[in-house]
């Protein structure tokens, strides 16, 4: 294939990738998540993380938060393609660097260790709103909320304190201040 | 107490309310309750196809030639999966289709029941939207919404999956309420400021070109009229994509012919060198743009499209006008007339040099071919077909391949909705069933499927449908015994390794026609071609016309994919005379 003259077409110039958080408000109906996720996989867009739940029970609205990477053109396409889906009401898009937006992920850590290590583990989590959800003599479960990269590094660093299991959500996002996205 | 209707009855009441007069379909276990009701609804006529793909393409032909949505009705499992190719084809080419599928009863869904498949899952990426109806009380609303989604905005296919038990259950019928807005999705999203900007660009342009596409046709016949008015008023040259043929008269001097991979020398060079490109309802497809990085490098680009996601998808544009072509062109013309009365005169002077340049490109006569006394050249066959049918209001469908490109190059379309071809998906086997659909919609008109012998064999069984309903469609096969376009690429780009592109055991198409109960005609020499075509046109029954053409002929001009517009490959005549300079000649 190396020297084939019948290349379907050659790809254009490579562009810089940005990380974006896309928030989608959708009708909470059967198959809606598959439509959104299928759009991403079908068109070759990236999903780094995804969080979804119903936020308005009266109007049956779910809020999907997707972290994705892409060139500005691709991110634009993602938004426009999402808006075309019938159950989609609105789409918001934030850059990860955006100071006006709060991003949070939650993680549950299970530690199995002696008391000394368990205490150190809790101490190490103290910057990330730790809550002890379960405690026995030789184990505990700690919940933290933090940014993605903070959780990344925590789950690496806490191994030495007996971290045996990690469960984490995708990012959720909300704007600061009194404004809401219309 | 209001009357209760079964789900099956509700389906037909919705079709009646939507003014559906024909549906294309094939019965099966999971749609039997619906077929059972057919006899009670006389306004809806069912056309029995021979394969569900045929139902889909027939519905596409019907839709494209009328501007109304095409409807198909198929059963669960294989019925639905067979329709997938047609749905994808309609999705790519923006054809409004409503596909109704049967499904196993709700209590069996998910149990791998007989003829069960995840229809909504399979068709999710190839429809604008689809629904699995799990409650008979939702059925009427879903059906009406389905028509609304299929026909509004950028049109496309939708699918309604109805389990068998829902077809039996009873509910009240809710009639159709015409809602203007669809989930906050508005379609006209431009302002007068955009129009003013466009007029300003038009005024300043020295090397302008209109690049028009299927969106003009989808916007209705009025849109084509407005486009003509604007093109005449500006005096600008115009080129069209494959799907846009017919929205501007092909025999007009301002028309440069089709552009793109097999477009004319003048249209592609004009696209490359222009300073203003006005894209009206086209989508910068890769067969049009060639190499994106070198696509029309010096032009300001305007894109008028109803689909916001088409803007900046492949090519970045300078001015985007999101809206229905008809409404955008109306505002443009209004502003245009108001702003400058003597505009067209001064502007025509400004672009006279541009026209001179275009005439130079034109004089290359890139569609010319070397004629022959012995064998029928495929281009000659199309030319003769055009000459002998141009006085009739003829509808042309095609399959996919060389014959399709020759038809696009040599058959001159003067009206919209007369040209049905599979452009986006490139579905071989599209043309014959599409011709069935077109003839159903226009029983008195001449409908010709310009076909290749390989493509037409993919859906040949639909001849049986044509015979059953006395549809006098003409299947005009350019028979070169090769998958011609595959052979051409192998010759030009794969060192003449003709791997599997020759069909060694073709049927005798004349005998085949007779077996189907229609008429077979064969033409072998250029001398007899006219008489045979006339014989075909005088036959008031379906005809399979086996036109034996030159086996080695290639379709030129050609831009090898991945190359820019100014690197075209011209035909053998030109290559012989060694007229072309530049890199184009040495490409293969």
Task: Tell me the β-bridge partners of A107.
Answer: A144, A168
User: Binning pLDDT at 50, 70 and 90, where does residue B340 land?
Assistant: low
What does the pLDDT read at residue B582? 36
Quick: pLDDT tens for B483-514.
999 999 999 888 999 999 999 999 999 999 99
Residue from B372, B406, B402, B390 nearest B526 by CA: B372
pLDDT at position B529 over 90: yes
* Whether B52 is catalytic: yes
Chain B nearest-CA distance from A98, in A, is 24
What does the pLDDT read at residue B539? 98
What does the pLDDT read at residue B249? 97
Quick: pLDDT tens for B308-328.
999 999 999 999 999 999 999
Class of domain A18-95: alpha beta
Sketch the domain layout of chain A as residue ranges: 18-95, 101-174
Instruction: Classify B577 as helix, strand or coil.
Output: helix
| pLDDT-above-70 percentage for chain B | 95
pLDDT at position B555 over 70: yes
CA dihedral B479, B483, B489, B495 (to 10 degrees): -100
Q: Which two tokens stand for residue B439?
A: 């003839």
Closest B-chain CA to A41: B125
Cα separation of B562 and B489, whole Å?
A: 14
What are the per-10-residue average pLDDT scores of chain A (182 residues)?
A: 48 81 95 96 94 95 96 94 96 92 95 95 94 95 94 94 95 90 72
User: E-assigned strands of A5-137?
Assistant: 18-27, 49-56, 61-70, 88-95, 101-112, 131-135
| Residue B542 contacts residue B473 (beta carbons within 8 Å) | yes
Tell me the residue length of chain B. Answer: 588
Q: Residue for token digits 């290359």?
A: B364
User: Binning pLDDT at 50, 70 and 90, where does residue B342 land?
Assistant: low
* Identified catalytic residue from B143, B271, B405, B485: B485
What does the pLDDT read at residue A10? 59
Cα separation of A52 and A62, whole Å?
A: 7
Chain B nearest-CA distance from A179, in A, is 21
Asked if the peptide bond before residue B330 counts as cis, ω within 30 degrees of 0, the response is no
Architecture of the domain spanning B192-362: 3-Layer(aba) Sandwich (3.40)
User: Binning pLDDT at 50, 70 and 90, where does residue B176 land?
Assistant: confident
User: Binning pLDDT at 50, 70 and 90, where does residue B174 land?
Assistant: confident
Average pLDDT, chain B: 93
> Which own/partner pairs from B179-184 qualify as long-range (CB within 8 Å, at least 24 positions apart)?
B179/B148, B182/A86, B182/B148, B182/B149, B182/B152, B182/B153, B183/A86, B183/A87, B183/A88, B183/A89, B184/A89, B184/A90
Q: Per the CB < 8 Å rule, is A31 touching B132? A: yes
Cα separation of B403 and B486, whole Å?
A: 12
What's the half-sphere exposure (Cβ side, CA atoms, 13 Å) at B223?
Answer: 26
Sketch the domain layout of chain B as residue ranges: 5-171, 192-362, 378-548
pLDDT at position B588 over 90: no
**DSSP letters along B277-337, please?**
EEEES----HHHHSSGGGSSTT-EEEEEES-GGGTTSSS--SEEEES-HHHHHHHHHHHHH
Closest A-chain CA to B124: A35
What does the pLDDT read at residue B578? 41
Cite the DSSP H helix spans in B340-416: 343-350, 352-362, 378-389, 402-410
What does the pLDDT read at residue B543? 98
Quick: pLDDT tens for B234-282.
999 999 999 999 999 999 999 999 999 999 999 999 999 999 999 999 9
B149 contact A CB<8A: yes
B192-362 and B378-548 share one fold: yes
Residues 6+ apart with CB under 8 A from B220: B67, B326
What does the pLDDT read at residue B581? 38
What does the pLDDT read at residue B448? 98
Chain B (82-121) residues lying within 8 Å, Cβ to Cβ, of chain A:
120-121
Alpha-carbon dihedral sign for residues B20, B26, B32, B38: positive
Residues 6+ apart with CB under 8 A from B44: B12, B15, B16, B20, B21, B22, B23, B38
pLDDT at position B574 over 90: no
B12-21 average pLDDT score? 97
pLDDT at position B183 over 90: no
What does the pLDDT read at residue B562? 72
* Whether B24 is catalytic: no
Q: Which fold has domain B378-548?
A: Rossmann fold (3.40.50)
Quick: pLDDT tens for B39-89.
999 999 999 999 999 999 999 999 999 999 999 999 999 999 999 999 999
A61 contact B CB<8A: no
Q: Beta-carbon neighbour count of residue B466 at 10 Å?
A: 28
pLDDT at position B546 over 50: yes
| Residue B550 contacts residue B539 (beta carbons within 8 Å) | no
Alpha-carbon dihedral sign for residues B103, B108, B109, B114: negative
Cα separation of B485 and B262, whole Å?
A: 11
Q: Which fold has domain A101-174?
A: Alpha-Beta Plaits (3.30.70)
Task: Tell me the β-bridge partners of B87.
Answer: none
Please state which CATH number belongs to domain B5-171: 3.40.50.970
Q: Tell me the CA end-to-end span of chain B in Å, nearest whole number.
A: 76
| Residue B399 contacts residue B428 (beta carbons within 8 Å) | yes
* Identified catalytic residue from B45, B114, B192, B353: B114
What does the pLDDT read at residue A3? 43
Residue from A26, A20, A22, A40 nearest A85 by CA: A26
| Residue B554 contacts residue B488 (beta carbons within 8 Å) | yes
Task: Tell me the β-bridge partners of A62.
Answer: A26, A54
B499 contact A CB<8A: no
Cite the DSSP H helix spans in B375-504: 378-389, 402-410, 431-441, 453-456, 463-468, 484-493
| Residue B75 contacts residue B26 (beta carbons within 8 Å) | yes
B287 contact A CB<8A: no
What does the pLDDT read at residue A7? 47
pLDDT at position B396 over 50: yes
Q: Which two tokens stand for residue B308?
A: 């916001």
Cα separation of B97 and B383, whole Å?
A: 33
* Identified catalytic residue from B16, B41, B115, B535: B115
Q: Do the bridges between strand A131-135 and strand A88-95 make them parallel or antiparallel, or are there none, so unpaired?
A: unpaired
């Amino acid at each position: 294939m190396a020297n084939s003259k019948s290349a379907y077409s050659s790809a254009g110039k490579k562009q810089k990738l940005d990380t974006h958080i896309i928030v989608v408000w959708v009708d909470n109906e059967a198959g809606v998540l598959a439509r959104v996720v299928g759009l991403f996989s079908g068109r070759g867009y990236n999903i780094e993380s995804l969080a979804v739940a119903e936020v308005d029970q009266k109007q049956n609205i779910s809020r999907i938060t997707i972290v994705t990477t892409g060139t500005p053109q691709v991110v634009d396409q993602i938004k426009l393609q999402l808006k075309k889906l019938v159950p989609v009401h609105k789409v918001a898009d934030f850059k990860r660097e955006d100071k006006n937006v709060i991003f949070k992920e939650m993680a549950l850590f299970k530690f199995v260790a002696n008391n000394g290590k368990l205490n150190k583990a809790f101490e190490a989590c103290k910057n990330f709103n730790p809550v002890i959800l379960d405690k026995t003599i030789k184990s505990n479960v700690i919940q933290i909320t933090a940014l993605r990269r903070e959780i990344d590094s925590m789950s690496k660093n806490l191994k030495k304190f007996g971290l045996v299991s990690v469960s984490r959500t995708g990012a959720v996002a909300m704007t600061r201040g009194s404004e809401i996205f219309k | 107490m209001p009357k209760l209707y079964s789900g099956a009855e509700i389906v037909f009441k919705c079709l009646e309310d939507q003014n559906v007069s024909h549906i294309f379909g094939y019965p099966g276990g999971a749609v039997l309750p619906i077929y059972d009701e057919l006899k009670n609804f006389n306004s809806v006529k069912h056309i029995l196809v021979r394969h569900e793909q045929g139902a889909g393409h027939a519905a596409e032909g019907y839709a494209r030639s009328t501007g109304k949505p095409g409807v198909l009705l198929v059963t669960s499992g294989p019925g639905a999966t067979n329709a997938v190719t047609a749905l994808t084809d309609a999705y790519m080419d923006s054809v409004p289709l409503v596909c109704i599928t049967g499904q196993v009863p709700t209590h069996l869904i998910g149990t791998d029941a007989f003829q069960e498949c995840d229809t909504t899952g399979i068709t999710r990426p190839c429809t604008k939207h689809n629904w699995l109806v799990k409650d008979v009380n939702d059925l009427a609303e879903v059906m009406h919404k389905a028509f609304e989604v299929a026909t509004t905005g950028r049109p496309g296919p939708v699918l309604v999956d109805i389990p068998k038990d829902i077809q039996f259950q009873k509910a009240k019928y809710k009639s159709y309420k015409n809602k203007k807005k669809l989930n906050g999705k508005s379609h006209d999203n431009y302002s007068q400021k955009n129009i003013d900007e466009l007029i300003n660009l038009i005024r300043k342009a020295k090397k302008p070109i209109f690049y028009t596409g299927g969106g003009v046709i989808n916007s209705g016949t009025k849109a084509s009229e407005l486009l003509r008015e604007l093109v005449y008023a500006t005096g600008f040259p115009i080129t069209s994509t494959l799907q846009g043929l017919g929205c501007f008269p092909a025999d007009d001097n301002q028309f440069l012919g089709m552009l793109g991979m097999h477009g004319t020398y003048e249209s592609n060079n004009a696209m490359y060198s222009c300073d203003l490109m006005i894209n009206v309802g086209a989508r910068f497809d890769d067969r049009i743009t060639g190499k994106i990085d070198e696509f029309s490098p010096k032009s300001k680009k305007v894109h008028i499209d109803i689909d916001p996601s088409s803007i900046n998808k492949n090519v970045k544009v300078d001015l985007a006008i999101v809206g229905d072509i008809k409404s955008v062109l109306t505002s443009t013309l209004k502003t245009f007339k108001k702003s400058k009365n003597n505009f067209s005169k001064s502007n025509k002077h400004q672009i006279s040099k541009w026209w001179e340049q275009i005439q130079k490109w034109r004089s290359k006569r890139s569609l010319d071919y070397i004629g022959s006394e012995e064998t029928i050249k495929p281009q000659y066959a199309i030319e003769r077909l055009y000459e002998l049918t141009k006085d009739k209001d003829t509808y042309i469908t095609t399959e996919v391949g060389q014959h399709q490109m020759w038809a696009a190059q040599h058959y001159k379309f003067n009206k919209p909705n007369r040209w049905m071809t599979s452009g986006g998906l490139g579905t071989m086997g599209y043309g014959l069933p599409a011709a069935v659909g077109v003839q159903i919609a226009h029983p008195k008109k001449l409908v010709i499927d310009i076909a290749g012998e390989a493509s037409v064999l993919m859906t040949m069984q639909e001849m049986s449908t044509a015979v059953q309903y006395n549809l006098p469609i003409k299947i005009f096969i350019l028979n070169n015994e090769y998958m011609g376009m595959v052979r051409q690429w192998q010759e030009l780009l794969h060192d003449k390794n003709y791997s599997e592109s020759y069909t060694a055991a073709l049927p005798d198409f004349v005998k085949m026609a007779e077996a189907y109960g229609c008429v077979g005609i064969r033409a072998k020499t250029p001398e007899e071609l006219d008489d045979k075509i006339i014989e075909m046109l005088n036959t008031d029954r379906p005809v399979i016309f086996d036109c034996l053409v030159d086996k080695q002929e290639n379709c030129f001009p050609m831009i090898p994919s991945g190359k820019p517009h100014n690197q075209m490959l011209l035909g053998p005549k030109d290559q012989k005379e060694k007229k072309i300079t530049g890199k184009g000649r040495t490409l293969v």
